[in-house]
Structure 1
Amino acid sequence: MVIFQENVSFDHYFGTYPNAANASGEPTFYARPFTPKVNGLTTALLTNNPNKNNSNNGTGAINPFRLSRAQAATADQDHDYGPEQQAFNGGAMDLFPAFTGSGETLPGAPADENGNGQVMGYYDGNTVTALWNYAQRFAMSDNSYGTTFGPSTPGAINLVSGQTNGVTQTLNGTANEIADGHGGLTLISDADPIGDVCSSPTGNQVQLGGKNVGDLLNNAHVTWGFFEGGFDLTQVNANGTTGCKRSTTSAVTQTKKADYIPHHQPFQYYASTANPTHVRPTSVAMIGHQGDAANHQYDLNDFYSAVEAGNFPAVSFLKASGYQDGHAGYSDPLDEQQFIVHVINFLQQQKDWRDTAVVIAYDDSDGWYDHQAAPRANASATTEDALDGQGVCNARGTLPGVNSKGQPVQGRCGYGPRLPLLVISPWARSNHVDHTVTDQSSVTRFIEDNWLRSERIGGGSFDAVAGSLEHLFDFFQPFPEHRKLILDEQTGEPVKQPHSPHG
C-alpha cells in the first residue's frame, strides 16, 4: 500500500539525518549504532551554501536553518513547473529563495530567515520524529525524485501512470497545460478532474487518456482502491460540514481546509477509473473489487472498515484529509505525523501485517530547498521550461506521449526535485538507506512487477525506465511477523511494548 503525502523535499525532512539537535522541550531522537549516512546537508552546505553566496537571491540569500517543532506551521512555497526548474539553475541548486521562496514570519526566527529565505528551512528528528524512527527500524531512500517538475497533480498522475501527457478534454481554459509539439497537451500544473462533483466549477479542469495502473490491475482481476479523506459526501464532520465542503481546522496551522481535494485524486482524471459522483460502495465486502458502483474510489474510513472486515485490497493508495497531508500553508509535519502513525499502528495490529508493505511517498517538494540535482531522465523544450535557460530542459532523450505515434512529446522535464521515500514492512531492510535512483513511477513499477508479471503501461510512461524499489527489501528476514514499531501519534516516539523473544 502507498501513503501518498504532500509537498516535502528530502533535505526539508532528512537533511541532517540521523543527527537531531534534541532541543529542550522537544521529543528526543538518538540514532542507533551503525546508522548509515544519507546524502544530506554537509557542514559546508550548512555554513557556506551556494544559495547564501548567490546575490540574485537578494535578502533571501541565507544558509539552511533548522525549524523547531514550534515552527511546524510555515508558508507554502512556490512549486510550479517552471520556477522549480529555475531554482535548480542548471544543476547549481542555488536560486531557491529567488524562484521558489515564499515565506512568512516565523515565531522567534531572525529576520533573515523570513520572507523568501524561509525556503531554506529544514526539520530534524525532534519534529519529524516518527519518520526518523521508521527510517531507523525499516528502510528509506536518499535518491528518489519527482518524476517531473511541478506541483501536486502531475505528481499524483505520475504515481499511477507515469504519464502526464494525453489530455483529452479541458474545461475553463488551458492554464495548467502546455502544447506537446504533436497537437496534444501535457499537464504541468494543478487542474481539477472533469466531472468530479467537487471540482471547481470555474477553474481549469481536464481529463486524461491512456492507461493507469488501475486499468492494469482491473485486467488482472487484482483488488485495489484509492482511499482519500473526505471522499464520502454523506458524512457530517464534528464542525457540521458535509458534502464537498467537509473540512477540518488544524490545531497547528489554525487553517480550515477541505478534507477532499479533487486535484489530489489521480484516478478521477481517467474515465475508466473515475467515480465522479462519489458513489458509495454497495457493501464493505465489495471494497476493492471490480464491478462495484464505487469503481475503486473510496473514503479513508472505507479502508479501515474493509481491513477490519478481513477484506484488505491487494493494492491500496491512501490520501490523508487535507489538514493531515503535510502540505505547507494549511497542514504541517505534526498533523501529518498523527495520520501516518495512526495508519501504521493500525496495520501492525492486523493479521495481514506479515504480508504488508507500506511505501511512504510524496507528490512534490513544495519548492523547499534540496541540494541534490536530479538525474536528467527526460528532456523538454516549451515556453515553461527553464532548467538550462529559457525554454530549455536538457536530458539524454525525450519519451513519447499517449497519442504521438512514438514521437517525443514536450512538457515532461524530469526528473524533478528529490523527495522522501520510505518502506515500512516486515520485509523491509532494517536501518537501511538505499541509493538506487527511483522516482514516483517506481511505485507503479513495483506494483507491476509484483502483481502484473512486469506488464508496463506503455505509451511513453516513465515506468519503463524507472528504478526498482526491490533494494529496500530483504525477503530472507527471520520471524517477519515480529518486526513492528508502535509509535506515539503525538510525539512520534516509540511506545514500549511487551518483550518479544524474537525482537
Structure 2
Amino acid sequence: MNKKLICATPIAIAAAIGLYACGGNSNSKPTLSSVKNVVVIYAENRSFDNLYGNFPGANGLQNVTATSARQLDRDGSVLATLPPVWKGLTAAGVTPVITQAMTVNLPNSPFAIDDPAGFNAPLSATTRDLYHRFYENQMQIHGGKNDMFAAWADSGGLVMGHYTPNADKLPLYKLAQQFTLADNFFMGAFGGSFLNHQWLVCACTPFYANADTSVAKTSISAVEPDGVSLTLKSTSAASALTDVPTFVNSGNLTPDFYAINTMQPPYQPSGNKPATGGDANLADPTVATTLPAQTNQHIGDLLNNAGVTWAWYGGAWSNAISAVQNNTANVIYGANLSSPNFQPHHQPFNYFADLAPGTDNRAKHLLDGGLNGSEFIKAIDAGALPQVAFYKPQGNLNEHAGYTDVAQGDQHIADVISHLQKSPQWNNMVVVITYDENGGFWDHVAPPKGDRWGPGTRIPAIIVSPYAKKGFVDHTQYDTTSILRFITHRFNLPNLPGLTARDSALVANGGQAMGDLTNALDINK
C-alpha cells in the first residue's frame, strides 16, 4: 500500500490492518493526543467474579480453590455451609421465586445463580439487594483474605453468587472479547455507590463539618479502635448461620465526620424534599441525610481551567427535575421503585457548591441523559459530545441488584456503544465502561492496600475504542481513580490531591501506583 493510500485511510480501518493514517510509515502508532473524546459509562454493583469470573484469559474463578473461596463465621471458624439467603434470593414479584427456605445448606463455595441444575435464575431476574457499605466492605475483605463476605452480610450466602454468561447471553461480554477487559480493576473506595461516585469525579470523600452538633449526629458510626470494624450490639447473633449481624450504629458518617454511606444532594433532584416554604431548588437541610454543599476540587474544575469541554449526562435527569417541580417527586423520594427509578445519590456533581442551581457551570455541564438515554444518544449521533462525557444510566438500566436485573442494563449499554461506534466522533474516542462498586458480591482477588478510603473490591472494566488493544485482557493494576488519571494524562491537567495521596499510600504499603488505562491502548504513550 502506498503512502497516499495510507494517509487517506480512516483511522478505524487503518488501525484494524495495522496502519495509521499519515503516520509516516506503516509501523507508526497514534499518540495519546490522538484521543479527542473520552466517554465514561458508569453502571452499578457487580464484582468482577460475579459477571466475568469465567472469562477466558482473565484471573477468574478457575484460579479459586476450595480453601481460598471458603467463608468464615464471625468467630473465625470455617462455616459448615453458607448461611441461607435471608429473605430469599429473588426480589419480590420476580420469577423464579426462590425463598429463603430453598437456600438452606448451600455448600461453602461460590455458586452459579443461573445454574439450570440449581436456582436457574437468569440474568433477566432481579435478585435481592446486598450490603454494600463502607465499614461492612472492609470487614468482608478481612485484610485481603476475602473470607468474611458471608459473615458480615445481610443477604447470607448470596454474596457468593455469580453468573456464567457468554457473548450470546451478555452483550458487553461480546464487547469485552472484541476490545480490552481489565481484570485487575478495583472500586476506588470501600462501600457503596454514593462514595464511589464521589471518587469517580474528585478522588475525595465528602465532609460534614460539625456533624456532632448537627441534625446528622445520629448518623455517626460506632467504630472499633482499629478504624475498620463496626461495634457490634451485645445482642447480635454470634453466628452468620443464625441471623444477620446487628451493629451499635452503622451510620453514614465516620467518627470524624466524613460522609461514607448514602447522603442526599443539597440540591434538587435529591432524595430529600425541599423544606416546607423553603427554596424549591434545595433539599431540606434539617433532614439528617442532606449533605451540606461540598467545596472540594473536582475533575470538572480542572477541565474548566484547561478549556476542555465536559458534561455529566444523567439518565432521566429532566424527568426527575420535573417531578420535583410538579410535586410528584415520590418517584425520587423512595416511594416508587418503578421505571425509571432515578437515583439522586448517583449524581455526584450535584453535591458541589460551584454547580448549584442557577449557576452557569450547572447549565453547561449537568445535562439530561434523557429517558432510556435518549438525549445522550442524540448527542452521540450528532457528533456533539464534549471532549469528556460521563453517562449514568437511569435506575432500571444500571444493573443494580434489588431493583433491576443485569440483562436489560447490559443491553442498554451495548446499544449506547453501538451508537458511539457509528458516531462522527468515534475514530478518536476512548470509552470506559465500568461499575461503581461490587454491590456486596464476593470476589477472590485481594485489593491492593491503599489509603483509608480504598481501593475496595475488584469490579469489571471494559475499554472500547479504535485504539484499544483487540481481544486483550489487561492485568495492569487499576481502580476507579484510573479514569481520572487517564483524563488528567490526556489533557495535561494537574493531579487532584486524592490521586497523589492514593499512590503514596499504595507505595508506602509495598505496592505500586495505580495505572492510568493507557496500557489498554495500542498507542505511543
Q: Does residue 297 in structure 1 map to residue 297 in structure 2? A: no
Match of 2:482 in 1: 442
Q: Closer, same or farther in 2 for the Cα pair 1:269/1:56, shift >3 Å?
A: farther
The C-alpha deviation readout for 1:196-217, integer Å capped at 9, x for no partner, is 2433144502132210000101
Q: Closer, same or farther in 2 for the Cα pair 1:377/1:338, shift >3 Å?
A: same
Q: Does residue 221 in structure 1 map to residue 307 in structure 2? A: yes
The C-alpha deviation readout for 1:414-466, integer Å capped at 9, x for no partner, is 22111111101111101111111111111011111111x14112267657653
Q: Does residue 231 in structure 1 map to residue 326 in structure 2? A: no
Aligned pair partner of 1:195 in 267, 276, 283: 267
Contact 2:172/2:411 (<8 A) preserved: no
Deviation at 1:177, TM superposition (A): 1.6
Q: Does residue 119 in structure 1 map to residue 139 in structure 2? A: no
Deviation at 1:124, TM superposition (A): 2.1
Contact 2:203/2:498 (<8 A) preserved: no
In 2, distance between residues paired with 1:328 and 1:145?
Answer: 19
Report which stretch shifted further, 52-61 or 338-347: 52-61
Residue type of the alignment partner of 2:363: A
The C-alpha deviation readout for 1:279-298, integer Å capped at 9, x for no partner, is 9xxxxxxxxxxx46614111
In 1, distance between residues paired with 2:450 and 2:68?
Answer: 29
The C-alpha deviation readout for 1:313-335, integer Å capped at 9, x for no partner, is 10000001100111100111111
Residue type of the alignment partner of 1:119: V
Q: How does 1:357-436 map to 2 (within 5 A)?
A: 357-378=430-451, 380=452, 412=453, 414-436=454-476
Contact 2:137/2:190 (<8 A) preserved: yes
Q: Closer, same or farther in 2 for the Cα pair 1:328/1:46, shift >3 Å?
A: farther
Match of 1:51 in 2: 71
> What SS does the corresponding residue of 2:318 show, helix, strand or coil?
coil
Match of 2:351 in 1: 269
Match of 1:173 in 2: 216
Q: Does residue 14 in structure 1 map to residue 52 in structure 2? A: yes
Deviation at 1:195, TM superposition (A): 2.3
Residue type of the alignment partner of 2:201: V
Contact 1:84/1:100 (<8 A) preserved: no
Q: Closer, same or farther in 2 for the Cα pair 1:214/1:48, shift >3 Å?
A: closer
Deviation at 1:101, TM superposition (A): 4.9
Contact 1:49/1:63 (<8 A) preserved: yes
Contact 2:354/2:361 (<8 A) preserved: no
Report which stretch shifted further, 91-100 or 300-309: 300-309
Match of 1:407 in 2: none
In 1, distance between residues paired with 2:109 and 2:46?
Answer: 18
Contact 1:198/1:244 (<8 A) preserved: no
Deviation at 1:475, TM superposition (A): 2.6
Aligned pair partner of 2:109 in 63, 78, 95: 63
Q: Closer, same or farther in 2 for the Cα pair 1:442/1:55, shift >3 Å?
A: same
Match of 1:325 in 2: 398
Contact 1:45/1:64 (<8 A) preserved: no
Q: Closer, same or farther in 2 for the Cα pair 1:85/1:134, shift >3 Å?
A: same
In 2, distance between residues paired with 1:446 and 1:459?
Answer: 14
> What SS does the corresponding residue of 2:258 show, helix, strand or coil?
strand
Deviation at 1:62, TM superposition (A): 2.2
Runs of 4 or more consecutive aligned structure 1 residues displaced over 6 Å after TM superposition = 234-237
Q: Closer, same or farther in 2 for the Cα pair 1:157/1:119, shift >3 Å?
A: same
> What SS does the corresponding residue of 1:357 show, helix, strand or coil?
strand
Give the aligned CA root-mean-square deviation in angstroms: 2.9
Q: Closer, same or farther in 2 for the Cα pair 1:333/1:197, shift >3 Å?
A: closer
In 2, distance between residues paired with 1:242 and 1:134?
Answer: 41
In 2, distance between residues paired with 1:41 and 1:130?
Answer: 21
Aligned pair partner of 1:260 in 342, 352, 367: 342
Aligned pair partner of 1:41 in 40, 52, 61: 61
Residue type of the alignment partner of 1:74: T
In 2, distance between residues paired with 1:326 and 1:169?
Answer: 36
> What SS does the corresponding residue of 2:354 show, helix, strand or coil?
coil
Deviation at 1:49, TM superposition (A): 3.0
Contact 1:3/1:359 (<8 A) preserved: yes
> What SS does the corresponding residue of 2:254 show, helix, strand or coil?
strand
Q: Which runs of 5+ in 2 are unaligned?
A: 1-38, 85-106, 115-120, 220-251, 274-286, 504-512
Contact 2:269/2:321 (<8 A) preserved: no
Q: How does 1:443-462 map to 2 (within 5 A)?
A: 443-451=483-491, 453-458=492-497
Match of 1:145 in 2: 186
TM-score (norm 2): 0.67
Match of 2:290 in 1: 205
Q: Closer, same or farther in 2 for the Cα pair 1:169/1:195, shift >3 Å?
A: farther
Contact 1:56/1:98 (<8 A) preserved: no
Percent sequence identity over matched residues?
32
In 2, distance between residues paired with 1:48 and 1:292?
Answer: 49
Deviation at 1:97, TM superposition (A): 1.4
Aligned pair partner of 2:130 in 66, 77, 84: 77
> What SS does the corresponding residue of 1:422 show, helix, strand or coil?
strand
Match of 1:134 in 2: 175
TM-score (norm 1): 0.70
Aligned pair partner of 2:518 in 465, 470, 485: 470
Aligned pair partner of 1:339 in 381, 388, 412: 412
Report which stretch shifted further, 154-163 or 171-180: 171-180
Contact 1:192/1:203 (<8 A) preserved: no
Residue type of the alignment partner of 1:189: N
In 1, distance between residues paired with 2:481 and 2:499?
Answer: 12
In 1, distance between residues paired with 2:192 and 2:441?
Answer: 12
Deviation at 1:307, TM superposition (A): 3.1
